[in-house]
Amino acid sequence: MIKALAALVLLLRLTTPAIAQDMTGATASLEAPAGVNAGDAGASFEFYVYNGSPDTEWTTAVVFTFPPCFTVTGGTYDDGGLGWVFTFAAAGNVASFADGDAGYGEIYDGDGGYFHVTVDVGGDCPLGPAAIHWMQQGDNWGGLPHVAEGDMDFMIGGTATESSTWSSLKALFE
């Protein structure tokens, strides 16, 4: 009896990591652009999103949160023919792609694809380094964590507001 119980405990210890599902290893990267200018209309961002779950938790939502001075105007994705069904929604500076067919999820572990988000950049955006926050929501089956998230850095540059002359540029460096 004790041997059988010990064997059961050993079996459970060996199989538990395979049962526990989580989103550890999921990533997102900003592919383009490295920067935008304050006042840009229709700026297009491209992201690569990868589900690196160590087991079989699927991604059910992908969310990109831009700086508050941005307005999301559109979004699409390219799954390379895998048949994802995401529904896009824009709410101010947030772009959301949610599971559109009520299945287990859309991006399965070990797979990824491209997301495209179009934004208008406010003329009042502070110039300099900025970040886009990304989040992948898992299907909530199995162990924690069910969410992976992080930040992607880029730059917000200025726009010319008046014509420049050689004298005005030279004065900047004197």
Per domain, the residue ranges of the chain are: 18-158
**pLDDT attached to residue 15:** 34
**pLDDT attached to residue 143:** 66
If one compares 8 and 52, the residue with the highest pLDDT of the two is 52
| pLDDT band per the 50, 70, 90 thresholds, residue 23 | confident
Which residues have CB under 8 Å from 12's CB, separation 6+?
none
**pLDDT attached to residue 166:** 52
**pLDDT attached to residue 25:** 86
| pLDDT band per the 50, 70, 90 thresholds, residue 9 | very low
146-150 average pLDDT score: 91
**pLDDT attached to residue 174:** 55
Q: How far apart are CA 123 and CA 64, in angstroms?
A: 21
Which residues have CB under 8 Å from 143's CB, separation 6+?
19, 20, 21, 22
Q: Which of 65, 62, 57, 64 is nearest to 145 (CA)?
A: 57
Q: How far apart are CA 72 and CA 62, in angstroms?
A: 14
To the nearest whole percent, how much of the chain has pLDDT over 70? 76
Instruction: Please name the CATH architecture into which domain 18-158 falls.
Output: Sandwich (2.60)
Q: What sign does the dihedral 44-89-105-153 (CA atoms) show?
A: positive
